[in-house]
Each structure stands twice: as structure tokens, then as C-alpha cells.
Amino acid sequence: MVRKWKTVKEDTDLLIEIAYKTKYSNIKCPPKEEVWSNIKNNLNIKQKRVVRIKSLTAAAFFLIFATFFFLSEPTSVGAFANKIIKNIINITEDTFSILKKVNIEDGLDVTSNDFDDPRLAETQSIVNFDLTVPKYMPKGYVLESIKVLNNNKDQEVVSLSYANEKGGSEKDLIQIEQQSNPDGASISLNVLRENNSDIKKINTDTMEYVLIFYENGFCKFMWDTDNISYAIFGKINEDEMIKIAESMR
């Protein structure tokens, strides 16, 4: 009886062995090229996840940095902007980023200026902030046009375009833009860096300015007074920009 049971067990083991061999002999291994391709794809996915995590981490640090300044004690808008610019430029390769916080301790009253040009008087009548104009302009420049964006009374924009005709159809333009900002507003300005473009902070006895130079000779000159942001655009030198800015009344 024992011998018979041993024979049955050996036959059963043999059947199981044959069944396993048959099963696994039918499994085809993928080509090595396919295996290597799958490995590379998995590595790429992991690397992208790491890069994304690093990008999110950098963005989080930037947000904390900006929040720290925005929640710090109120300073003048110009001083705040210049403080931020100095730090942001050091970590931005392709963009000039300017962050500003508007703080107004007391309300600003709109006063009526006397303008010789009726176009300026009309413009003042439809905006809710004191319009200012330059008392100095380089020789030959005259006020050509005025554009107003006042759909939002808390953030209005007036653009003054001055033209200098060179005898013919060619004109040199200087544009002066002034924008009102509501109290407590956080303003972000991103300027793409072009080839050989540069940014410079200028301090005078009365004001702090930011000047952006472009390779084609075009310049953008910016500053803030109270809740008004000013910008001058044109192909004129730094000294002329400062003269125009300091003559704004």
C-alpha cells in the first residue's frame, strides 16, 4: 500500500512539473530594446517630477519673500518698488520684475490745475486724480494727443504723447503715462529682458527713479508719487528723462 501511494505521489509531482514547464515556456520575454525604452521612460517621468517639485519650491520661496515685504511696515511706494527691484533682478535672468505696495495714510484731494491747453482741462474733468504735465520738454516737442482709460475710477490711466516732427513724415515720440492706484493695491510689473537691455536705479535729492535701457535706444523711466505711478517712454537720454520728470506739475 505504501509503495502504491509513493508511485501515485511521484506521478502527481511529475504532472505538476510538466504543467509549470508548459506554462512558463509559453511566456515570451520582451526584446531588450523595449525593456531599455521602458526604463528610460520611467526615469524621465521621475526626473520631471523632481524638476516640478523644485519649481514649486522656488515659487513658494518667492511668494513668502513677496508676502514678507507686502506685510512689512508701510513705506513710500517708490522706496518699496526700488527695494524689491534690487532683490528680484538678482534672481531673474529673463525678466525685470517690479512689485509695489500702495499705502496712503490720508485721503488725497483732487485740486483743479489751470491748463493753457483745453484738451488737458477736458481730460482733468473726467479723471479722479490730479493730472500733471511737464513744464520742460526737449526742443521741438509738442503735445500731439491724449488717451484716457477711466472705466475703473480707482485705477485710471492718462497717456500724453509729445511729437517732434523732423521735417517730413518721420516723428520722434515721447509718451508720458500716469496711473492712479487704489490704496492697498499690490502691483506687479514684469518687463521682458531683451538683448543688452539693462535696468538702473537713480536717486536724486527729491525722488527715486527706475530706468530701463533697451538695445535700440528706447528707454522707459518710472517713478511713483503718492498713489500715482508715472512712466516716460522714448528715445531720449537719462538727463532729459530726469528733467522732464522733475518738471511735472
What's the whole-model pTM score?
A: 0.61
All cell numbers assigned to 141: 516737442
C-alpha closest to that of 236 among 137, 168, 166:
137
Domain made up of 118-246: CATH architecture: 2-Layer Sandwich (3.30)
Contact 203, 173 (CB under 8 A): no
Contact 62, 51 (CB under 8 A): no
Contact 129, 156 (CB under 8 A): yes
Mean pLDDT for 227-248 is: 95
Where are the domains positioned within the chain?
118-246
For 205-231, write each residue's pLDDT tens digit: 888 899 998 888 899 999 988 889 999
Percent of the chain exceeding pLDDT 70 equals 53
Contact 170, 184 (CB under 8 A): no
For 96-154, write each residue's pLDDT tens digit: 666 666 665 554 454 557 898 999 999 999 999 999 999 999 999 999 999 999 999 88
